[in-house]
Every structure is written in C-alpha cells, then in structure tokens.
Structure 1
Amino acid sequence: MKPPRLLRIAVPMLLLAGVLAACAPVQTLNALTPRSTFELTANVPYGTHPRQQLDVYRPTATAPAGGWPVAVFFYGGTWNGGDRADYRFVGEALASRGILTLVADYRVYPEVRYPSFVEDSAAAVAYGLQQATALGGNPRRVFVVGHSAGAYNAAMVALDPRWLKAAGTTPRALAGWVGLAGPYDFYPIENPDAKPVFFHPDYPPKSQPFEFVSADAPRTFLGAARKDKLVDPQRNAVALGNRLKDAGVPVQVKLYRHVGHVTLAASMAAPLRWLAPVLDDVALFIDTGRPVPRQMPEAASAAP
C-alpha cells in the first residue's frame, strides 16, 4: 500500500531541506545512502601525500565480460577543501548502476595552488587506468568525472594532454569524461575563494579547459543546472559543448531544471533522484561508450 500522496511529497522535501541546511548536509545524504550496492575499499594511496588517496566503490552485482566500466570522480569546493568520505553518495550512485567508482582527494589551497591539484587528478586517473583490471574494471572503459571545481580538474585531465603525459599515459586512453556544473572559462575570477588559487590577477597561461579543445578530445557529457547562480551554464557548459561539437567530438550537453549548482550533484543521491535525472544520464553515457582501442602506444608506461 502506497503512503498518502502528501507524505510521498513531504518526506523528500524534508530530505532536501536537510541537504540545504547548514548543519551536516552531506552527512544527511550519506546516512540515507544504501550500503548493499557496493563494497568499499577506503584509503587507497595513489601518491605519497596524505591527500593523494582515494576510495574504491566496487559494485556488488555480477561484473560484465571484460570488467566494470570505471569512473574516477573529483568533487568540488573551489579548490579550497573537501573530503572524499563526504561523497559516499556519489560512489554508491554510480556503483548501483554497475560502475566501479574511485572517489579521489587532491591537494588544495592554501597548501598548493594551480596546477598541483590538476597534477594530483592526473595521477589518480593514471592509477585508475593502471589498476582497472586488478580492481575488476575494464581498462578500456575508464572515464573521468567531476563536479564544480572537480569538473575543472576532470576537463583539464581529459582535454590538456600535458597532465596525463606527465603521469605516464594520455587522454586517448580514456573512454570519455563527464563534467557537472564545471567552470571551463572563468577569467577574470570573481569568486574570492578562487582568486588566490589561480594567482589573481596574474593568471597562469594555458590554464582554462576551453583552450584545449581538439578533435582528439575524448567523448564528452556536460551537465549543468539551467539556472546555476555560481557557474554560468551558458558561458561554460554550453560554450564548451559547442566548441567540442565544432571540433567533431561526440558531446552531449544537458541543462537541468529544478536543481542548482549544489543540488545538481546531490540529485545523484538515492533520496533525491526525483529532482533531476542526472544519474540516469551519466550512467547511460558511460554504459553506451565504446571502449578505447586495445593498443595505446603512448600509454604503454601506464600498464600495471
């Protein structure tokens, strides 16, 4: 017997209020996150620094032939903070759709500035490529995924070959990338928290993802809130998507109603999936992506 319609509406709205409240919003989501869809291996180092660690969410369902698709996820936080443990709801969401998920920390300001967090992100992605088979994943179906500042990291890793080359591989080894509410063209910086990260007003050259669009870019999914008040979706997601399309790159751009900058990512959590079909769209993008070719000469040094 279904509960009354008023109750079915009121309960999710109360959950959403908890997410938006100042007191422990992520803990609220994680407390309501199912535990039966994944096996967690926490605190896996991909480097020597304490923040160069990741958590592995392995789906509990039977793996497909060749192994699970792999997603390496980076959270946001204006490159000023964040903790991978706060994004258990993302690890569960993707694992529940049969995606082996690595949620990675990276160094942040004031300990570091650009480009250290991009270097860390590339190292975490290289780890995912190197260890995919050992973890039960498919090394030919590795995706990089990010939200907000994490989407910037993902974009730089996927579009600018400098970073993965330094980590011993290449963006051509990726089956695709996903950016959610990401900033890809944001100079001059208005956000005071981001200004020192990028040496405002003396911005580093070649530090904006849109500068690296080429026909070699991996298959792309860009999602954003239609009325994002923090990161302009037209200047960032739509404009980058148009550049990629003009370069001949397979790209999807989706703007979502009824969510904002933060709730776009929160809608992936089990209690809030009614807000927007972000998880459905990301999972479908990953599931339908073609594996990269077996022979990747430039990525030979990234083998386990």
Structure 2
Amino acid sequence: MRKLIILLSLALLAGCSSLSVVNGLTPSTGYNLAINLPFDPATGLTADVYTPDGARNAPVVVFFYGGRWSEGDKQEYKLVGQALASRGIVAVIPNYRKYPQVRFPAFVEDGAKAVKWARNNAAAYGGNPEQLFVMGHSAGAHIAAMLALNEAYLKKVGGSRTWLRGMIGLAGPYNFLPITAPDLRDMFGPPEQFEQSQPVFFADGRNPPLLLLHGENDEVVAAANSRSLAKAVAAQGGSVETIFYPKLSHANILGAVSTVVNRVVSSDVLEHISNFVQEKRNFQLPSIQTPSDIQAVPLEIEMVPMSSP
C-alpha cells in the first residue's frame, strides 16, 4: 500500500491533472463533512464544510478552486478540505457560477456571498467568525484576491475587508493584461473594463495580509503574476508575503497541499499555509478604509499574459 501511495503521489507532483487519485487516498476521518449547504438560494449555490474533530473557535478558510472560471466543482477538493481540517482549520469550499453561464464579475460576487455565509454560520461548524480567511488556487486565487483587494464586493453583501484576517493565493492570475484569448476577452469584456478584473490595480495598502505561493515551473499562470501583485501591494505599504518553489508547476502546487503527498514527498506548502493562518488569525484591519473604487497604483505595472488557469 505504501508503494502505491508513493507512486500515485509522485505522479501528481509530476503534473497529473486529475485530483481523483489523491482524493481517493485522502482520509475520511479526523473531521466531519457537511455537504451541499445552500449559501445563495437565488442561484442554487452550495458549499461543503470540513470541521476538524472537536473544533471550537477554530479559524475558518473559504477556499475557491480553479478551472479558468469555467469548470470545476467543490466535491473535487476533498484533499484541500481534509488538509486544512488536519491543521485545526474549518474549511468552507463553495461552488460558484462559471463562464459561459455568467461573466465577470459574477463569480467574484458569488465568492462574496460565500464569505458572508461562512461568517454568519462559522460558529455552527466549530469556527470563529472573527478569524476568517479566503484562499484559492488559480482562478480561485483570483477570486480570493479580488475580495481581499477590492472592498466593493464585500460591501455589496453588507460587509467589508475587516471581515478578513488574510488571503492565501496558490498560483493565482493577478495581473494578466493584455487579454488576448477569445474566451477570456468575452468573459472579462468589454475591453474598456479589463482593468477592473485585475487584482493588481486595486492595491491600496489597506488589504488584509496576503500570502502568495507560486511555482517557478508554472507554465499556465506565470510566477510573475505573484511578483507583480506583491510589488504593487508592498509599494502601497500593504502586508504581503511571497514564497516561490523552483520545481513546482501549476497543478502540483495544489497537490502539495495534500496530507497524502506530504507523507511521502517533502513539501512545506501546507505548513506555510497553516503557519500563516495561525499567525494572522487575530489580525485586525483598520476600520477606516480608502474608497473601494481605486483603479490603479502609482507605479508602472508590467503586464503578464496568461494562458489557461
């Protein structure tokens, strides 16, 4: 059995696109799982919640999965829910509407509703609503970053960035102009609104702390995205940390979160995420916010074309 685990884990880290292998090996113990909890009846969207055994006033992470804003489902991310729960974190994994059913900013708006639901219901699942984080991989990291950097989305659901203790991004597209792919131009258009979809243009120095993790071997979303966002946030005096992995690709930085992979392959991705949550769980964002319609930072932004997150 151990040999099988090693082979399958190495296959994932080598770039296996399917999550089913690791999910199949992911433990179903150590946490309680509540599935298909409605958080937006108007759209029928639901979330799954992974609660660590005995959780009480635990930090809460809302995780948004990737898939080019056009594919994916929460049930495919057991590996993330279990990994976070193993570190004493309540994990909320919501679905969101996707292209071509909707276009930007609908999926970010869905993310804001999921965050509101998590805050309102955290206590019922052993979580502390005052220790709330957003996290995402790829397109999901874009959603998480937009929520952390552009307060308009949380304000629309009656909240603010003061709800968030931090944001964790794995291989996120934060600065992907010019947009040239036809589907992305349709998704984020019209062209005069492209900048509104770029997290980098909303750096104002008043963001909750950011942890940006990226693989240097990422051929889908270049690591320059994380460097660009970190530079913009730091220039404004905002809190941001970056960690770059020379050998990790776009897919296997997510696989490296898995406790199955961590047992057989040296990886500190989950460790960094867990440490960040524990360090920032009591962070307090100043209540005085700058206007949420900020559209640019006063520095030159190097555009980073994107392939298919």
User: 1:57, 1:292 → 2: CA distance?
Assistant: 23
CA RMSD of aligned residues (A): 2.4
Query: TM-score, structure 1 length as denominator?
Result: 0.87
Which residue identity lines up with residue 130 of structure 2 in the other structure?
A: R
1:214-264 CA-partner distances (Å, limit 9, x unpaired)? 121001100000121111112x10111122222222221000132100110
Deviation at 1:189, TM superposition (A): 2.1
Report if aligned partners of 1:76, 1:150 keep a CA contact under 8 Å in 2.
Answer: yes
Equivalent residue, structure 1, for 2:6? 12
| 1:47 equivalent in alignment to 2:40 | yes
Match of 1:38 among 5, 16, 31: 31
User: 2:22, 2:121 → 1: CA distance?
Assistant: 29
| 1:247 equivalent in alignment to 2:236 | yes
Equivalent residue, structure 1, for 2:279? 288
User: 1:126, 1:106 → 2: CA distance?
Assistant: 14
Larger RCO (CA within 8 A; separation ≥ 6): 2
Name which of structure 1's ranges 199-208 and 139-148 shifts more when overlaid on structure 2.
199-208
SS at match of 1:138: strand
> Are residues 159 and 295 of structure 1, via their aligned partners in 2, closer, same or farther at CA, if it must alter by over 3 Å?
closer
User: 2:244, 2:255 → 1: CA distance?
Assistant: 15
> Are residues 295 and 171 of structure 1, via their aligned partners in 2, closer, same or farther at CA, if it must alter by over 3 Å?
closer
SS at match of 1:206: helix
Using the aligned pairs only, state the percent identity.
Answer: 37
1:57-105 CA-partner distances (Å, limit 9, x unpaired)? 0001x335xx000000000000111100000100000000000000011
The unaligned stretches of length 5 or more in structure 1 are 299-304
> Are residues 207 and 288 of structure 1, via their aligned partners in 2, closer, same or farther at CA, if it must alter by over 3 Å?
same
SS at match of 1:57: strand
Report if aligned partners of 1:122, 1:167 keep a CA contact under 8 Å in 2.
Answer: yes
User: 2:158, 2:237 → 1: CA distance?
Assistant: 26
Report if aligned partners of 1:89, 1:270 keep a CA contact under 8 Å in 2.
Answer: yes
Task: Provide runs of 4+ in structure 1 moved above 3 Å.
Answer: 13-16, 18-22, 190-193, 200-205, 292-298
Match of 2:216 among 226, 230, 240: 226
Equivalent residue, structure 2, for 1:215? 205
1:171-227 CA-partner distances (Å, limit 9, x unpaired)? 111111111100011011244543321136554442210111112100110000012
Match of 1:63 among 55, 69, 89: 55
Which residue identity lines up with residue 55 of structure 2 in the other structure?
A: A
Report if aligned partners of 1:78, 1:193 keep a CA contact under 8 Å in 2.
Answer: no
Name which of structure 1's ranges 84-93 and 50-59 shifts more when overlaid on structure 2.
50-59
Name which of structure 1's ranges 43-52 and 144-153 shifts more when overlaid on structure 2.
43-52
Report if aligned partners of 1:222, 1:253 keep a CA contact under 8 Å in 2.
Answer: yes
Which residue identity lines up with residue 241 of structure 2 in the other structure?
A: Q
Report if aligned partners of 2:132, 2:281 keep a CA contact under 8 Å in 1.
Answer: no
> Are residues 160 and 95 of structure 1, via their aligned partners in 2, closer, same or farther at CA, if it must alter by over 3 Å?
same
1:7-45 CA-partner distances (Å, limit 9, x unpaired)? 86x8524433267456xx211111100111211000011
Which residue identity lines up with residue 268 of structure 1 in the other structure?
A: V
Report if aligned partners of 2:148, 2:167 keep a CA contact under 8 Å in 1.
Answer: yes
Q: Work out the number of aligned pairs and report it.
A: 286
